[in-house]
Amino acid sequence: MTPTSSASAPLRVAVVGLGWAGQQHIAAYAANPDVDLVAIAGLEDAPRAELAEKFGIPVAVADWQELFSSTPLDAVSVAVPTFLHAPIAIAALQRGIHVLSEKPIARSAAEAAEMVSAARTAGRVLQVAFNHRQRGDVRALAAEVASGALGRIYHVRASWLRRSGIPALGSWFTSRELAGGGPLVDIGVHMIDAVLDLMGEPRVLSASAVTHAEFGPRGLGGPDAATGGKQFTGSAFDVEDFATVLLRLEGGASVALDTSWASYRPEGDEFGFVVYGTEGGAELRVVDYAPATDVPLYAGTTEAVADRVLPGGVPAGHQGVVDEFVRTIRTPALWAASDGSIAARRAAIIDACYRSAAEGREVAVEDVEAEVAR
């Protein structure tokens, strides 16, 4: 098991995976004074060398297994394709290394449960990078909900929609075996996470979902589709490119979610949610990843409207995720509650959604969790 550095020394941290997400983690660790970014691992030779030089990282290797066996570490970020999250995270936890995984936690609730079990056995932190709950506008709205200003939240309508945004046709993203699913597990999970966090983590009782694959199987909907560029279609597209979901929550509340990689709608990405409360409402709408957006709040009556606008606040993104991870590691009293359980619940919800879509019926989330526990 990797020895842990002293309480006063900077945390020895590595990042596995050098794509966009991995680079966000690298930059965030480099900006945290409580971290010594000692290593990176990734298959891409040129980016690996460039990142090591740019951030002064002493160890830069291709193989994550070599990294774990040769470099003393306190923590690691796992920012690789989804099918590698569980094996790398579990290997790290078994060596006594705290883990921050990119979302989703894993391809399935079963894999997620294995990761949580490894974290509990090792007595180490397992967190997942749900960076959109760290947005300033999302946090400001969450504080408003927590204050009771909107009353009881009884429904939230969430969405993340793209026109031509299939990540890469024929890549691991579009393989169910490698990714676990399409936009629902890729970007929809961000909205499920943010909404449930906003609502105070109510238990999700059941899921009813429908999925469609209308563009990917025809070689359409990739990032080059709008300009007519050629697209890579080296393997079958066997995930959805659109999903619609209804979640029933304890206490009678509900969440509706639409998510798409490709659909006939305005260009670009748009995500957010509309909140319906007994004493007020709110609408958060983010277009093309705007770093912050003001949030209209609706209250009062038809005779005495009390609408106002909530300032969007300062975005934190991956920096907020990494800083929270570091703070948690520095606070051992928080470790037991930071075992990945919340992210695993998200995985069970996603599994229930996919089962509902496949079987044409509403599926109880507890049935999925019970099967995993057996």
Name the residue ranges covered by the structural domains of the chain. Answer: 11-131+320-338, 136-315
pLDDT at position 8 is: 75
- What is the average pLDDT value for the chain, to the nearest integer? 93
Q: What DSSP character marks residue 216?
A: G
Q: Decide if pLDDT at 303 tops 80.
A: no
H helix and E strand count, the chain: 12, 15
Confidence of residue 231 (pLDDT cuts 50, 70, 90): very low
77-122 per-position pLDDT tens digit: 999 999 999 999 999 999 999 999 999 999 999 999 999 999 999 9
Architecture, CATH, for domain 136-315: 2-Layer Sandwich (3.30)
Residue type, 28: A
Please state the φ and ψ torsions of residue 141, each to the nearest 5 degrees.
-70, -40
Q: Which of 192, 231, 200 is nearest to 215 (CA)?
A: 231
Mean pLDDT within 220-227: 64
Confidence of residue 7 (pLDDT cuts 50, 70, 90): low
pLDDT at position 227 is: 39
128-167 per-position pLDDT tens digit: 999 999 999 999 999 999 999 999 999 999 999 999 999 8
Homologous superfamily in CATH for domain 11-131+320-338? NAD(P)-binding Rossmann-like Domain (3.40.50.720)
Q: Could you tell me if 326 and 35 are in contact, meaning their C-beta atoms sit under 8 angstroms apart?
A: yes
Mean pLDDT within 185-197: 98
How far apart are alpha carbons 64 and 66 in whole angstroms?
5
> What is the DSSP pairing of strand 280-287 with strand 295-299?
antiparallel
Q: Decide if pLDDT at 226 tops 70.
A: no
Q: Could you tell me if 320 and 100 are in contact, meaning their C-beta atoms sit under 8 angstroms apart?
A: no
pLDDT at position 229 is: 40
249-279 per-position pLDDT tens digit: 999 999 999 999 999 999 989 999 999 999 9
Beta bridge partners of 331: none
pLDDT at position 235 is: 63
The residue that leads in pLDDT, 300 or 16, is: 16
C-alpha 211 chain-centroid distance: 20
How far apart are alpha carbons 358 and 333 in whole angstroms?
42
Q: Decide if pLDDT at 40 tops 60.
A: yes
How far apart are alpha carbons 114 and 123 in whole angstroms?
14
pLDDT at position 76 is: 98
Provide the whole-model pTM: 0.94
Place of tokens 């079990």: 117
How far apart are alpha carbons 188 and 130 in whole angstroms?
11
Mean pLDDT within 3-24: 86
Q: Decide if pLDDT at 232 tops 60.
A: no
Q: How many CB atoms lie within 10 A of CB 188?
A: 28
Q: Which two tokens stand for residue 246?
A: 């209804």
Rounding to the nearest 10 degrees, give the CA dihedral for residues 30, 34, 39, 40.
Answer: -50
Mean pLDDT within 27-32: 98
Residue type, 250: E
DSSP 126-176: EEEE-GGGGSHHHHHHHHHHHTTTT-SEEEEEEEEEESB--S-TTSGGG-H
